[in-house]
Structure 1
Amino acid sequence: MSNKAEYSTGKNIALKPNRKKFFTQQDLAGYAFSAPLVIGVLVFAIYPMVGALILSFKKSASSFGGEWTGLANYKYVLTDTMFWKSLYNTAYMGVLSVILGVSLSFILATLIHNVPWLKWRNFFKGVYFLPNVVSLVATSILFQFLFNPGSEGILNYVLGWVGIEPVGWFTNPSVSRFSIVLMTLWGMLGYNTIIFIAALSSVPRDLYEAAEVDGANWMKKWLYITVPYLKPILLFMVIISTIGAMKRFTDVWLIGGTAGNPAGSLMTVVLYIYRNAFLSNQMGVATAASYILFIVILVLTVIMLASNRKNNFD
């Protein structure tokens, strides 16, 4: 009998709600596949961050235990002249690396993108990306050979042809930081250039054609179409490059050692953290410095994002 007939006879029929099971077979399969990633994030990311935060309030020579000291570690770091010197060195090399790296890679990407022959474009892509295949350790050894302070260094040998005295690239405190920047650019340009080339392919050709009709030359098209259209990509590359520059460690450690020689000019914040953690056995001070570095990077990122939103609003 149909529901309509049952209602007409006056029978009260209790309608059963269609309750969905909390865990269906598909839900369990999804949880099972995502569990390794979730567990990995909790164990290798969240747990170390929370543990380091707790350790930063303790006086400890290891990763476990220690006496609770409150903000003493943060006070020690913020009043340590070596920390401020390392922060200055990091910012100095970081600003130069980001400005030169992002701008030069964007210009190179524009030039490669405008090459009319596909084979030559692929050739230049491979040439500029090749340094990214080489490890940073091998790169540091290579540049130690190129920037050898004596006349036997390749770069100083070439400078000697034009009568310039040998330069202490990695031994002169006033030059060593800029030498690290040059070494960074060698590997930085390749990755950034490939990203910018991919972004340039997304710019609509209609905009260039309309600009050509209005009589715009290549420079005006690049300034008023290409650059504004790729502004989000430029911001992304600046933020990523800034974060990478603030975490500089391997190259300065291989070149200047744990002391950041010459004269501490290559001492970065991460190297300062390494010295306190593994050479001075002050894990509490090292974790406090790492969280101060985290706050600095967070503030810089927020400022860049806020300035971008303000410019878009204007």
Structure 2
Amino acid sequence: MDGVGYLFCAPLIVGVLAFAIYPMFAALYLSFHQTVGNQMSGKWVGANNYAYALHDPIFWQAIRNTLFMGVFSVALGIGLSFVLATLINSLKWNFGKNVFKAVYFLPNVVSAVATSLLFSFLFYPSKEGLLNFVIGLFGIEPVGWFTNPSVSRFSIVLMSLWGALGYNTIIFLAGLQSVPRDLHEAAEVDGANALRRWLHVTIPYLRPIFVFMLVMGTIGSMKRFTDVWLIGGTAGNPGGSLMTVVLYIYRNAFLAGQMGLATAASYLLFLMILVLTAVMMLLNRRKNSMD
């Protein structure tokens, strides 16, 4: 009977080995080779691909752009979604709660392609763009949202906020509804007003959700590709301001035909995500131990 359990697990184990474990080790092996075209084998060059990526200014530009857009997307996304969730949760009318949840979650089901097309129209650089038309009514000159290197990264942050705000709000709303009413009643008896209860009861109780949102948001932002590729192309225009690490990997793998360099950059990205996640988890564990 013991062997029957392993037999039922065999398809899953084979699938994980074939489509997860093997590709990881194959990519690691390939990262130590110099390849030509889309070949999956080549000349052994040791750590040269890693050294080349670490000395490539485009790779470091991609890291800076990725971190810049990621920090603002995650910080603003978590903060705004928590405030919205708090406001929705404070509504007394259940129908109103459902309406707001549906409205805010709707952008999450829109594809990245449709979102990019929508914001390309909204952020059109001339006066024909909707946003430039609106700010033009107040005498403000048109802004090159996706054509000015100093502004384009903020435009991507705004676009990503619109798409992810609803999902984050739903997660926080579920957490807010799980906060025990006894905690708020006890704090109210001690003389705490609504703001103090929100700061000293609600937020500490939802710390695991904040950590979850922070970790998942960081991982997602470090893998940013679709929106910057659709808006800025393979060069990350304007002026490379939208070049991200994943876009750098894509360019080297499928345009330059350097699969070894691309896989080396992929493992460097993996190490970055691993370090950032580990730091956040350690800080959270230290905070829990101090409480």
- Same fold judged by TM-score > 0.5? yes
Query: Using a 3 Å threshold, how does the CA distance of structure 1 residues 231 and 63 change in structure 2: closer, same or farther?
Result: farther
Which amino acid is 2:31 matched to?
Answer: S
Provide, for residues 220-252 of structure 1, a one-character-per-residue CA deviation record: whole Å limited to 9, x for no partner: 001000000000110010000000000000000
Query: Using a 3 Å threshold, how does the CA distance of structure 1 residues 44 and 63 change in structure 2: closer, same or farther?
Result: farther
Matched residue, 1:86: 62
Which amino acid is 1:312 matched to?
Answer: N
Which amino acid is 1:182 matched to?
Answer: L
Provide, for residues 102-152 of structure 1, a one-character-per-residue CA deviation record: whole Å limited to 9, x for no partner: 111111111111111111101111001000111011000000000000100
The yes-or-no answer on 1:47 pairing with 2:26 is no
Matched residue, 1:18: none
Matched residue, 2:157: 181
2:104 to 128, 141, 145: 128
The yes-or-no answer on 1:313 pairing with 2:260 is no
Determine helix, strand or coil for the equivalent of 1:77: helix
Alpha-carbon distance in structure 2 between the residues aligned to 1:110 and 1:136: 27
Alpha-carbon distance in structure 2 between the residues aligned to 1:148 and 1:36: 50
How do residues 181-260 of structure 1 correspond to structure 2 at under 5 angstroms? 181-260=157-236
Matched residue, 1:154: 130
Which amino acid is 2:206 matched to?
Answer: L
Matched residue, 1:5: none
Which amino acid is 2:185 matched to?
Answer: E
Determine helix, strand or coil for the equivalent of 1:148: coil
Q: Which one has a bigger Cα radius of gyration? A: 1
Which amino acid is 2:191 matched to?
Answer: G
Which amino acid is 2:61 matched to?
Answer: K
Which amino acid is 2:127 matched to?
Answer: S
Matched residue, 1:7: none
Q: Any stretches of 5+ residues in structure 2 without a counterpart? A: none
Equivalent pair of 1:253/1:271 in contact (CA under 8 Å):
yes
Alpha-carbon distance in structure 1 between the residues aligned to 2:16 and 2:227: 28
Matched residue, 2:250: 274
Provide, for residues 29-87 of structure 1, a one-character-per-residue CA deviation record: whole Å limited to 9, x for no partner: x3344333222221111111110000000011335221111000000000000000000
Q: TM-score, normalised by structure 2?
A: 0.97
* Distance apart, 1:183 and its partner CA: 0.1
* Distance apart, 1:176 and its partner CA: 0.1
* Distance apart, 1:27 and its partner CA: 4.6
Alpha-carbon distance in structure 1 between the residues aligned to 2:72 and 2:173: 22
Which amino acid is 2:227 matched to?
Answer: D
Equivalent pair of 1:101/1:185 in contact (CA under 8 Å):
yes
Equivalent pair of 1:147/1:156 in contact (CA under 8 Å):
yes
Moved more, 40-49 or 71-80: 40-49
2:241 to 265, 275, 297: 265
Alpha-carbon distance in structure 1 between the residues aligned to 2:14 and 2:93: 48
Give percent identity, aligned residues only.
66
The yes-or-no answer on 1:36 pairing with 2:16 is no
Determine helix, strand or coil for the equivalent of 2:268: helix
Matched residue, 1:301: 277
RMSD: 1.0
Alpha-carbon distance in structure 1 between the residues aligned to 2:226 and 2:29: 27
Which amino acid is 1:76 matched to?
Answer: Y
How do residues 283-298 of structure 1 correspond to structure 2 at under 5 angstroms? 283-298=259-274
Alpha-carbon distance in structure 2 between the residues aligned to 1:74 and 1:242: 23
Provide, for residues 267-304 of structure 1, a one-character-per-residue CA deviation record: whole Å limited to 9, x for no partner: 00000000000111000000000000000000000110
Q: TM-score, normalised by structure 1?
A: 0.90
Alpha-carbon distance in structure 1 between the residues aligned to 2:107 and 2:39: 37
Q: Any stretches of 5+ residues in structure 1 without a counterpart? A: 1-23
Alpha-carbon distance in structure 1 between the residues aligned to 2:211 and 2:264: 29
Alpha-carbon distance in structure 2 between the residues aligned to 1:204 and 1:289: 46
Q: How many residues align?
A: 289
Alpha-carbon distance in structure 2 between the residues aligned to 1:178 and 1:234: 23
Equivalent pair of 2:69/2:157 in contact (CA under 8 Å):
yes
Which amino acid is 1:258 matched to?
Answer: T
Equivalent pair of 1:55/1:63 in contact (CA under 8 Å):
no
* Distance apart, 1:204 and its partner CA: 0.4
Alpha-carbon distance in structure 2 between the residues aligned to 1:63 and 1:110: 53
